[in-house]
Amino acid sequence: MLSVSRGPRRHRDRSEVETISRGPDLLLKATDETSSDGGSTSITKSVEDTGSKDKSSQSLVRTHHVLKIKLKKITNWSGCSGAALDDEPFYHGYMSREEAEKLVRTQGEFLLRKTELTKRGEVVVLSVFWDDTAHHLVVEKANNGSSYYLKEFCFENISDLVRYHHQTRASVYKSGIKLFSWVVREEWQLYHEQINLGKKLGNGEFGEVFQGMLSVGIFTNDVEVAVKTMKGSKVTADERITFLREANLMLKLNHKYVVRLYGVATQQEPIMIVMELCSGGSLKGKIEKDEPMSSQLKRKYCKQIAKGMRYLEKKQVIHRDLAARNVLLDKSDNCKISDFGLSLFGKLHKEKKLMKVPIRWLAPETLLKGIYSSKSDVWSFGVVMFEVFSREYPYSEVKVLKELRKKVAHENLRLKPPSDMPEEDMKVMQMCFEPVESRVSFLQLCKKYKELTSPLPTWNGIANKLIGIGTAV
C-alpha cells in the first residue's frame, strides 16, 4: 500500500509534492522479464513475494516500509496533452526486450513498450540507449495507479510523463539517463482502428482467424485481409512471444509464393496479426475434394511451392512445418506458403527434444538427431509432392507415430510415388528422399522444374521464327 502525503502548492509550474513508499528499483535486468525459454526468475523483492528467511532479504523488506521518496507531481505545463498512450508515436505496444534493443541504437534514443515481468505481471517499460547500452525502466504507479512516475516527477498519465522528460531533458534515472529522440512506430505496427473484423474463418493455435478489411490510407481502397487474433486475457507471456515470433519473421519476407504480412496490432487486446487473404483455402482442402486435377495443375502447385521455398532457402529461413495444410491458395489459384510459427532463421538448427512435431513430414536426420535445415525442408517438400499427386495421407498404412518414426529413421521406409505420377515428377520426388549429404537443394529443384516446363523446340516453331526473321529483313 503506498502512503501519500501532500505538501502545499509552492511550485511555479503548478505542481504538488507527494511522498510515497519506495518501491523496487526502476531499472530492469534481463532476468526480470519473462522470455520464450521460460527460464527467467525475478530479482526484485517486495513485501508480498519475499518468503526467504535470509536476514538480508528481511532487511530489504523492512527498508521498503521505512524509506520514502518525494515526487513532484506536475499538474500543468506547456506541453501537457493528455493524449492516449495508444496514439503516441513512441509507444510500440507489446515488444520483447531483445526487439527493443535492436531499435534503440544512439544516445538518448528511446521507445515505450508493454511487457510482462516474471513476478509483477504486465507493465509499461521505457527502453532507452545511454552510454553504449540499452536500459529498461519500469514506469511505476503511485497513489494506487492514479499517477505515474520515473525518477522524481509524476503525472496523471504516461504520455505526459514521457513528453515532459523528453522536452525538459530531465533525467529519468539516477545515472543521468535522458530522453533525446524517440523511435517512431513503423508502418507495419497497426492501430486496432484500422482493422474491421468480418466472418470467422477458423481457429488457430492461439486464437481465432477472421476475414477482415484493413484501412491503409484516406486515398487508398481498403484491403481484404486475414486476421489472426490472440485469445483472451489469460494468455501467458511465453504464448504471446511465440505468437508474435511468426510476425517478426514474416516481416522480413516478400515473395509472390509466400503469404504477405501487412502488420501487427499490439497496443491493446486482442493482439492481431494481419496477413494477405487467401480465399482459395488450403492446398490440403483442394486435393481432398472429389474433383479432377490434371498432372499439369499438380506440377504447377509443386513448382510454385519449390520457388517459394527456394526464396526461404536464400533468406536462410528454415520453415520446419512444410505440408499441404500450410500452403494456401489465392483467388487466382496460386500457392502461398504460410504458417511460420515453427520457422527459424539460420542454416542449421538442432532441437534437443522433439515435442509436438509433424512426424509424417520429417526427415530421418530430424527424427534421429533433431537436426533441421533447408535440406530437411526439401524432404518435407517431397512429402507434399506425394500429398498433391496421390491425394492421400502420408504413410496412411502406419497408424502409430512411434512405429512410423522408427521405420523412417532406422528401416529406410520411404513414400512410393503414385502409379499415375508422370515419370519426370517421380524423379523429382525421389531426389527429395536422398540421404541429407546428397539431397538436392531448392535451387537445384527449381532448375529441374525449369527443364520440365520448358518445351523442346519443334520444327514448326523454328520455321515460324525463320519466317518472322525473313519478313523483318
Catalytic residues: 321
Query: In the numeric block, which cell numbers belong to residue 72?
Result: 513532484
Buried b (16+ CB within 10 A) or exposed e, 142-164: bbeeebbbbbebbbbbbbbbbbb
Instruction: Record the cell numbers describing residue 126, joined without a space.
Output: 521505457
Beta-strand relationship, 153-155 and 147-149? antiparallel
CB-CB neighbours of 360 under 10 Å: 20
SS3 content of the chain, % helix, strand, coil (to 5): 35, 25, 45
User: What is d(CA 67, CA 21) in angstroms, rounded to the nearest whole number?
Assistant: 6
Residue 204 three-state SS: coil
Q: Are 322 and 309 in contact (CB under 8 A)?
A: yes
Helices of type H across 135-175 = 158-168
448 by Cβ neighbours in 10 Å (0-12 / 13-18 / 19+) ranks as middle
Q: Are 178 and 165 in contact (CB under 8 A)?
A: yes
On whether 53 is known to bind a ligand per the annotation, the reply is no
Q: Are 18 and 6 a contacting pair, CB within 8 Å?
A: yes
Contacts of 459 (CB under 8 A, 6+ apart): none
Task: Count CA atoms closer than 13 A to 302's CA, side-chain side.
Answer: 32
CA distance 358 to 367: 10
Binding residues: 228
